[in-house]
Amino acid sequence: MSNPFLKQVFNKDKTFRPKRKFEPGTQRFELHKRAQASLNAGLDLRLAVQLPPGEDLNDWVAVHVVDFFNRVNLIYGTISDGCTEQSCPVMSGGPKYEYRWQDEQRYRKPTALSAPRYMDLLMDWIEVQINNEDLFPTNVGTPFPKTFLQAVRKILSRLFRVFVHVYIHHFDRIAQMGSEAHVNTCYKHFYYFVTEFSLIDPKELEPLKEMTSRMCH
């Protein structure tokens, strides 16, 4: 395991949350395996994200949301030692984009926070969502709520902000670790998925527009 990126990934660091797993034998576990297999086979990512014939859109989306959460969490975890209150006092994507945090508990108004504080709240918030059986039911036959896709749009647009911050403020760290290819693949997979199913407002994608047009033409 000479790759420093993998070393960090397998380092049981505090920044890595327990992964949400799919139970073997369930429909979603099979979908997860199928999605992974097409990625591992090097299938064109644009094709890999398409809904397999006969499958339920909500199931397919749920599997990917959990997977993206796990991956983005790892990516942020690998650079988090360089993302501090001092280096990143504001959660931003360059001088033009600042992201403020808002939730139902402590921050009822959009509030400016440091990037590490924002990331902490964001990961906790998503973890609560994906472990909520009412929103992400794990039992086969339990229907998804009508608000499912609306909730997913919010989760994914906030996860996108992690990519924005990492690419704009910490890419040198990613490059130093030799993990650009890995991060770029994760980003392309995410981008093709959210655009395939219109899960993020195009305005939200603006901060990485130029990079995306080069990477995902």
The annotated binding site is made up of: 83, 88, 165, 170
49 contacts 114 by C-beta, under 8 angstroms: no
| pLDDT tens digit sequence for 155-212 | 999 999 999 999 999 999 999 988 888 899 999 999 999 999 999 999 999 999 999 9
What confidence tier does 94 reach under pLDDT thresholds 50, 70, 90? confident
Per-residue model confidence (pLDDT) at position 55: 86
pLDDT-derived band at 43, boundaries 50, 70, 90: low
| Fold of the CATH domain 4-14+23-215 | Butyryl-CoA Dehydrogenase, subunit A; domain 3 (1.20.140)
For residue 25, pLDDT over 70 is answered with: no
Positive or negative, the CA dihedral 52, 55, 56, 61 is negative
Average pLDDT of the residues of the chain: 84
Non-local (6+) Cβ contacts of 115 within 8 A are 83, 88, 89, 90, 91, 92, 165, 169
103-113 pLDDT per residue, tens: 888 889 999 99
The annotated binding site for Zn(2+) is made up of 83, 88, 165, 170
Q: How far apart are CA 46 and CA 36, in angstroms?
A: 14
- pTM of the entire predicted model: 0.84
Mean pLDDT, residues 91-111 taken together: 91
Write out the DSSP string of 148-190. Answer: HHHHHHHHHHHHHHHHHHHHHHHHHHHHHTT-HHHHHHHHHHH
